[in-house]
Amino acid sequence: MKGLKELVAEPKAAPATRRKPANEDAQAFTRSGSERRDRPDRAGQRLIAGYVDPETFKSFKILSAEQGATTQAMVSQAIELLFKKYHKPVTEQLAEQARGL
């Protein structure tokens, strides 16, 4: 049986290793099983997500369809309006996305 000192001794630090990205050694696949393709249009972009109730989601999709705009353009427009409300600078890239370009 180990002594108390051995049980509470600090563990030795593991050697530092670089963690490989998931797709470095193997092909990445989507949930449907097809090969994942990188999206060059998303390079340098970050995802913002949130949950809303089903009625709000439905209303948002209807509004998007009525405006003939993508979800990306609608969310960008909402963020642009939020920044303006709080007197924050709006980047040219965000303004372009809000216009659906």
- 20-24, Cβ contacts within 8 angstroms, sequence gap of 24 or more: none
pLDDT at 70: 93
Average pLDDT per run of 10 along the chain, which is 101 residues long?
64 62 61 79 88 97 96 94 94 87 57
**pLDDT score at 32:** 82
User: What is d(CA 82, CA 99) in angstroms, rounded to the nearest whole number?
Assistant: 15
State the pTM of this model. Answer: 0.59
pLDDT (0 to 100) of residue 34 = 79
